[in-house]
Amino acid sequence: MKKIQRILIANRGEIALRIIRTVRDMNIEAIAVYEKPDSDAYFHRFADRVIQIGIEPNRGYLDIERIIQAAVNTGSDAIHPGYGFLSENADFAEACLREGIIFIGPPPNVIRNLGNKVLAREMMVKAGIPVVPGTESLPVGPDGLIVAMAFAREVGYPIILKATAGGGGRGVRRVNSEQELKLNIPSARAEALAAFRDDRIYAEKYIESPRHVEVQILADKYGHVVHLGTRDCSIQRRHQKLLEIAPADLPEPVLEALHEAAVKAARAAEYVNAGTVEFLVDSRTNEFWFMEVNTRLQVEHTVTEMITGEDLVQEQIRIAEGRPLQIRQEDVRLNGIAIEVRINAEDPKNNFMPEGGKLIEIYNPPGGPGIRVDGNAYKGYFVPSVYDSLLAKLIVWGYEWDQTIKRLQRALKDFNIVWPKTTIPLYMAICDEPDFQGRKFDTGYLETHPDLFNYPDADHYVFDDALYKLMLAPHEGMEGRSEEEQKKDRQAGWWMYKRTLTTQEIDELKKEGVVKSSIKGKVTDILVEVGDEVMVGDALVDLEAMKMHTHIICEVDGKVADILVEPGDAVDVGDTLVMVTVRR
């Protein structure tokens, strides 16, 4: 048994920060790594030390040699891989062991065996766990097509093509006919190669409208295995999860059978550390089949933590140190219901097109009882277009389903992110949908409920604190308005009663001479005084950023009414600098 002193987190974004927090709770030093596009990432601020491991995106995070060297150079005695990237790479786990570094995850042979989806299926059949009918890895070339066609004739269309080394919903293609099969095999191989550096694929019977239910397990090297209940991950887009619920809403005998099958699967694989056993469940009969084992921490582990009170990252570290499980099965209590929604910088109305390349002008996360936010975003954060689109995970807990939904609705309404479009309004629409409220959903939920995408656009803006306080006082800029404008009931200080504005109201505000910072920097000089007459194009404030000076320019004619900053102040994107009374 070895006490870990320093852990290198070989990941980025919200999961890097999530792991860092537990590591520091355990009085262990946290080392973060990053690539150049992540140079302003939020998780840097919480690590004890930060090491750059690459310039180009998605190279350093996947470079085993660089990460191992970073661990050696920093004296790290353990590496936590998070999820994605190298988290399920057996070669990486082996490289850690060769260097005498603890890999916080399963042994390399377990990762390798379970990562091969065909081999994993064979293992589960031997253990007596039901699996979906499928093939071995298809031969390359015409022989592969022949095998796939014979399988499809045996079980009937539709079938599904999957990457043998796959996971996370990538490399998955539904095939409805022989013609589609001929077209999809080459593209499925190419997608598998791009995602996993392995072009092997296999065919599986497609289960119509199943539920995607998984079981969280923990196992130590002494043969102890426990489950921490189920998660329903059925609501997905393009085979990737959007919303997860713990526990799944299934009859108690079915839940017990799933728990038993998951523990049996872990024992069959000689599993050690945290893992997730995934199943497909027939929505009508509740019959279930083994799908795969994810040999890592899941994105949605948070909902399990909410209903059990356990810290899964802490348990991972304890197991990696060689300690026996401190949790016994009889000690596990599943309390209440938790829901996680993934706040992605995507436009759901445009086929979930990523919104990378945009600056977050406002970031106000929600709070209150039963609310947890795991995120990597902040005001002024530039959303990278070279990584996944996840900004934050919103996790909500309640004693029962209706309370959890109400808390989720409140939290979504309070979660304000401007400028990229996000998945927030889609989740608000889902919360109002009757089938979701009745817990009647499966993996085809979004396809069978297209009206969800008719949600109103989030046409709003939230004041920063400085501007809000200023608006509490009478403002001269409202003088001289026409009778028509007065009929709109826009009295002086009308904005003091509401912090959410429509686009029309934003335009009105701009006309009132609200001057905001367009960059993040330091105020070096104020070029005007209160009472000065200014015109369009006049320089108002000088800002310095990265040793370069930027003038903030006036966009209206008028008189300077107030100056909210002074030399030496640090300002963020969207901060209010000057108020100008517009000349009418």
User: Would you name the residues annotated as active-site residues?
Assistant: 296
| Inter-residue contact 525 to 567 (CB < 8 Å) | yes
Going by their DSSP bridges, the two strands 362-364 and 240-246 should be labelled as: unpaired
| Inter-residue contact 246 to 304 (CB < 8 Å) | yes
For residue 222, the number of C-alpha atoms closer than 13 Å in the C-beta half-sphere is 11
Q: How many residues does the chain have?
A: 584
Q: Which amino acid, residue 331?
A: D
| Inter-residue contact 36 to 17 (CB < 8 Å) | no
Quickly list H helices, 131-277.
142-155, 178-196, 252-268
Backbone torsion region of residue 168, taken as left when φ is above 0, otherwise alpha when ψ lies between -120 and 50, otherwise beta: left
* Residues contacting residue 200 through CB under 8 Å, at least 6 positions apart: 137, 138, 163, 164, 165, 189, 192
Closest CA to 495 of 524, 464, 520, 539: 464
Which tokens go with 50? 């930060």
DSSP secondary structure string, 48-99? SEEEEEESSTTTGGG-HHHHHHHHHHHT-SEEE--SSTTTT-HHHHHHHHHT
| Inter-residue contact 8 to 50 (CB < 8 Å) | no
Q: Which amino acid, residue 358?
A: K
Cα angle 326, 212, 348; round to 5: 115
Q: Environment class of residue 584 by beta-carbon count within 10 Å: exposed (0-12), middle (13-18) or buried (19+)?
A: exposed
Distance CA 458, CA 461 (A): 9
Distance CA 94, CA 106 (A): 11
Closest CA to 417 of 347, 352, 468, 515: 347
| Inter-residue contact 470 to 530 (CB < 8 Å) | no
Please name the residue that has the structure tokens 């406002």. 362
